Amino acid sequence: MTTPPKKMSFNDLETWLNERRVTEIECLVPDLTGVARGKILPREKFTEDRGMRLPQGIVCMGVTGEFPVSGPYYDVVDPTDKDMQLRPVPESVRLVPWATDPTAQVIHDCFDHEGKLVPFAPRSVLRHVCDLYEAEGWDPVVAPELEFYLTARNTDPNTPLKSPIGRSGRAETSRQAYSIDAVNEFDPLFEDIYAYCEQMELNVDTLIHEVGAGQMEINFFHAHPLGLADEVFFFKRTVREAAMRHDMYATFMAKPIAGEPGSAMHIHQSIVDKKTGKNIFSNEDGTETDAFYHYIGGLQRYIPSAMVLVAPYVNSYRRLSRNSAAPINIEWGKDNRTVGIRSPIASAQARRVENRVIGADANPYIAMAMTLACGYLGMKNKLKPKAEMKGDAYLAPYSLPRSLGEALDWLKREPELHEILGKEFVTIYSEIKELEYDEFMKVISPWEREHLLLHV
φ, ψ for residue 389, nearest 5 deg: -80, 115
3-state percent helix, strand, coil for the chain, nearest multiple of 5: 35, 20, 45
* Segment 11-67, tens digit of pLDDT: 999 999 999 999 999 999 999 999 999 999 999 999 887 778 999 999 999 999 999
CATH tag for 131-451 (out of 1.10.260.40, 3.30.70.2190, 3.30.590.10, 3.30.70.260) = 3.30.590.10
φ, ψ for residue 88, nearest 5 deg: -65, 145
The bridge status of strand 103-111 relative to strand 24-30 is: parallel
Listed by start position, the domains of the chain span: 10-118, 131-451
Q: Please tell me the predicted confidence (pLDDT) of residue 4.
A: 40
* Segment 287-331, tens digit of pLDDT: 999 999 999 999 999 999 999 999 999 999 999 988 778 999 999
**How far apart, in whole angstroms, are the C-alpha atoms of residue 153 and residue 150?**
9
Q: Please tell me the predicted confidence (pLDDT) of residue 210.
A: 86
Cβ distance 272 to 344 under 8 Å?
A: no
Length of the chain: 456
User: Structurally, what CATH architecture does the domain formed by 10-118 represent?
Assistant: Roll (3.10)
- Residues of the chain whose pLDDT is less than 50? 1-5
Cβ distance 270 to 372 under 8 Å?
A: no
**How far apart, in whole angstroms, are the C-alpha atoms of residue 423 and residue 312?**
18
**How far apart, in whole angstroms, are the C-alpha atoms of residue 272 and residue 277?**
6
Q: Please tell me the predicted confidence (pLDDT) of residue 6.
A: 64
145: β partners: 219, 266
Angle at 262 (CA atoms; ends 409, 398), nearest 5 degrees: 45
pTM over 0.85: yes
**What's the maximum distance between 2 C-alpha atoms anywhere in the chain?**
70
